[in-house]
Structure 1
C-alpha cells in the first residue's frame, strides 16, 4: 500500500481516546461491575466462533474466505485476521486495504498501537478484547469499537462491534421514571432498580440509589455487591469524594449533575460518566451516561 493511502486510512478511521484524570472507580474485591452482554456482543461472538471453527477445520490458508464469503458477514459485522508477527491477512470490512501489510506500527493519531495490544494479548492469553476508535459506517464518524479475538495456531481471528451507548436524554428520562416509582412505592421501586433484567437496566444505562443520611447503597443496577454497603466501604478515595459531592449538593438543591470516571459495564473500560441525580424523600437517585475517552 502506498504511504499516502495508508496515512489517509489512519487519519480517517482512527482516533485514540484522550487521557482521563482523577475519577471514580469501584473498589477491589467482590464489589465489581457486572458485565452487560448486549445483542451486538452476542452476534460478534457467534460470528467469531464460526470463523474460528472454519480455520480449525481448513487451516490458516482459509482466512481468504473472510474477504467475501457471505457466511462470514452478519449485517455490519465482519471477520478479519492477522498473524502473530503482525501481517494483516484478511478482512471483510474497510480494513481490507491493510491486507498484506505489517500492522505492528499501525497506530491512531495519538499513538495507540492497538494491533500490538491485540497480538500481545493473543500470544499471552490466547484470546481477549481490545478497544479503539474506528470509522462507523452507520454515521461515518470515528466511534468506539470493541474487537473480540482468538488465536488459532499462529493466526489471530477477530470480529469487532460498536457498543450501543445511552445518551443524556435517555439518562434524564430514566431518572424521571425512577422518581415517579420511588414516590409511589419505595420498596417496589428498589426491587425494580436492582433487577438486572428489568426496565431500569438497559445496556450501559442503569440506576443507583443511596440513602443520603446513612450513605448506604439501596440499589445499584450493575453492582449488586454494593447494596447495603456504605460508600466508605465499597468506593476508593476518589469515588467517595465524587459521591460525597452529590450528597452535599442535594443539601442545597434537590437535583444536579456531575462528571467522574467509572467502569462502563459494556466495554469494561473506565470512562467519563456524566450523572444526573435527584433527592427523593431522603434518597439520592442517580442515572448517568458514558462518554468515550
Structure 2
C-alpha cells in the first residue's frame, strides 16, 4: 500500500491510521455482533472519560486496566496523525507523527479521514493487519470518534469467512452464471462485481476443456489447465475435483492453498457445483 517499512510498532500504528481511509458498511451476526457491541461500548466509555478529564485520560488509556479488554484497546491520535495514547502495541509510537512516513496520496486521504467532524459521531472502518496475539494477518474493524482535535478509536479482529458465507457466494455465482455466462465470467475476472469477499473468491473451470475461464484473485490462471493443478505438497487438486463434479452436480474437496489475505498456505475447504459445462467453486480457509 505504499508504506515505508519501519519497526513492527510503526507498521501497527500506520495500518491503524490507514484503517480510517476505508469506511465499511458491512455487518455480520453472531460473535461478530458481540465483538462490535463490545468495541463500540469501550469506545463510548473512553469518549465519556475523555470528555470528563481531557488529555489526563491518556495515561488510563495507555496501561492495562479498564480500557484494555482482551484484544480490544483504546488508541488516540491528534488530527495531524500523532499518536497520543494506546493500550496496545502502538504504545511505542506515542509522541510520534506516524503520518509523516506515508506517501503524498495516502497522506492526503489520511488527513481527510482525520478531519472527520465531531458532529459525525462514531464512525467505522476496516483494514487487514497482523494479529499480535496469534501472528496471523486478519481483518480488523475499528470504531472511531473525533472529540475536539483528538481521534479516539477501538478495534477488534473479524472472524474468517465461514462455510455459510462460502456457500452463499457459490449460490450467487452459480445463479448468475446460469443467467449470463459471459457477464458473470467477466465480472469474476474483473476482481469486482461481488465475487471477491475478503478471503473468499470464485473460480470457474470449463469441464470440457478442463481449463480455467475465470478466477477471482489470480488472472494468470485463466486459460491454464486445471487438471494439472496440485497443492504445494503435490497432492492432486484439479483431477479429483473435476471427477467429482462430473459424477454429481455438487461436491466438496479439501486441499492446501495460499490464502490471498494472509499470503500463507492454509487448509481450504472448497464447495463446487456444475453449471452447464462449467464447474463453479468457492472455498473457505480454516487456517
TM-score norm. by structure 1 comes to: 0.53
Change in CA separation of 1:231 and 1:250 when aligned onto 2, cut-off 3 Å: same
* Residue in 1 that maps onto 2:68: 73
TM-superposed deviation, 1:93: 0.9
Q: Does 1:238 align with 2:187?
A: yes
TM-superposed deviation, 1:256: 8.3
TM-superposed deviation, 1:257: 10
In structure 1, distance between residues paired with 2:207 and 2:92: 54
Change in CA separation of 1:119 and 1:46 when aligned onto 2, cut-off 3 Å: farther
* Residue in 2 that maps onto 1:278: 272
The 5-angstrom pairing of residues 201-240 of structure 1 reads 201=165, 206-209=168-171, 215-216=177-178, 237-239=186-188
The 5-angstrom pairing of residues 85-100 of structure 1 reads 85-100=80-95
> Relative CO higher for 1 or 2, CA cutoff 8 Å, sep ≥ 6?
1
TM-superposed deviation, 1:79: 0.5
TM-superposed deviation, 1:212: 6.2
Contact (CA 8 Å) 1:257, 1:275: kept in 2 or not? no
In structure 1, distance between residues paired with 2:73 and 2:207: 48
In structure 2, distance between residues paired with 1:10 and 1:211: 40
TM-superposed deviation, 1:101: 1.6
Q: How well do the aligned residues superpose, as a CA RMSD in angstroms?
A: 4.7
Contact (CA 8 Å) 2:83, 2:95: kept in 1 or not? yes
The 5-angstrom pairing of residues 53-132 of structure 1 reads 53-68=48-63, 70-107=65-102, 117-124=109-116, 126=120, 127-132=123-128
Give the number of aligned pairs: 210
* Residue in 1 that maps onto 2:158: 163
Cα deviations across residues 153-187 of structure 1 (Å, max 9, x unaligned)? 11100112222224xxx7xxx4xxxxxxxxxxxxx
Cα deviations across residues 206-239 of structure 1 (Å, max 9, x unaligned)? 44326969845xxxxxxxxxxxx75777x69433
In structure 2, distance between residues paired with 1:248 and 1:259: 9
TM-superposed deviation, 1:64: 2.5
In structure 1, distance between residues paired with 2:173 and 2:157: 36
Instruction: Point out where structure 2 has 5 or more consecutive residues left out of the alignment.
Output: 16-24, 196-201, 218-258, 262-267
Contact (CA 8 Å) 1:51, 1:157: kept in 2 or not? yes
* Residue in 1 that maps onto 2:223: none
TM-superposed deviation, 1:128: 3.7
In structure 1, distance between residues paired with 2:91 and 2:182: 50
TM-score norm. by structure 2 comes to: 0.54
* Residue in 2 that maps onto 1:260: 216
Deviates more, 1:84-93 or 1:271-280: 271-280
SS at match of 2:99: coil
Change in CA separation of 1:56 and 1:250 when aligned onto 2, cut-off 3 Å: farther
Change in CA separation of 1:247 and 1:117 when aligned onto 2, cut-off 3 Å: closer
SS at match of 1:133: strand
TM-superposed deviation, 1:50: 1.8
TM-superposed deviation, 1:277: 4.8
SS at match of 1:208: helix
SS at match of 2:81: coil
